[in-house]
Amino acid sequence: MGRQPRWRRVGSLPQVTYFKPAGVPLANIQEVRLSIEEAEAIRLKDVEGLEQDACAQKMSVSRSTFARILLAARQKMADAILNGKAIRIEGGNYEMAIRHFRCGNGHEWEVPFEVMTKQPPEICPTCNTSDIMSLWPWSPGLNMAGQSRQFRGGRNHGRGGD
């Protein structure tokens, strides 16, 4: 049995998760699957312009692991662009760096992952109600508990799966 995959820290999820070459019918298209952590590596290195050491630290992986993730992402993107394939961004082994919460009274707040692992919130810091729920990081108001994807942790915090 192989070892358990390590979770990679992700700062944000892409809002657009599917790209298709223009003029190619969906019925005739091949897809390349880019994992969430591969998309995060592209974002940190190529969009944010960070050095690989800083990227690796933000994702909580070694520099060599970050380099492998980035190389895999770039190879997949090159294959898609040069061979007219669609890119689907989904899945992977990751955890969100910041968790968003809302209470039943409408108060919203964020909790860093490091704090979450030590003491997950049980009450709203504003009104002390225990009626709280996790929210998707990019879309306040969307309850994660009803989603069909796998979540990391016992209280539906983070995402992962494949």
Q: Looking at the structure, tell me whether residues 60 and 85 fall in a common domain.
A: yes
Q: Quick one: pLDDT band at residue 136, thresholds 50, 70, 90?
A: low
Domain count, the chain: 2
Residue whose C-alpha is closest to residue 112's, from 120, 123, 124: 120
Q: Quick one: pLDDT band at residue 1, thresholds 50, 70, 90?
A: low
Domain boundary among 66, 94, 122: 94
pLDDT value at residue 7:
79
pLDDT at 53 > cutoff 70: yes
pLDDT value at residue 157:
34
44: left (phi over 0), alpha (psi -120 to 50) or beta: alpha
The mean pLDDT value of the chain amounts to 81
Say which amino acid occupies 104: G
CATH (domain of 32): 1.10.10
pLDDT at 150 > cutoff 60: no
The encoded tokens of residue 103 equal: 């209470």
Q: Looking at the structure, tell me whether residues 17 and 68 fall in a common domain.
A: yes
Which tens digit of pLDDT belongs to each residue from 107-118?
998 888 777 767
Q: What is the domain extent for residue 22?
A: 8-94
Q: Looking at the structure, tell me whether residues 79 and 134 fall in a common domain.
A: no
In a domain, 2, yes or no: no
In a domain, 84, yes or no: yes
Q: Looking at the structure, tell me whether residues 107 and 60 fall in a common domain.
A: no
Q: Looking at the structure, tell me whether residues 84 and 117 fall in a common domain.
A: no
In a domain, 75, yes or no: yes
pLDDT at 27 > cutoff 50: yes
Angle at 14 between CA 8 and CA 16, to 5 degrees: 145
In a domain, 63, yes or no: yes
pLDDT at 152 > cutoff 80: no
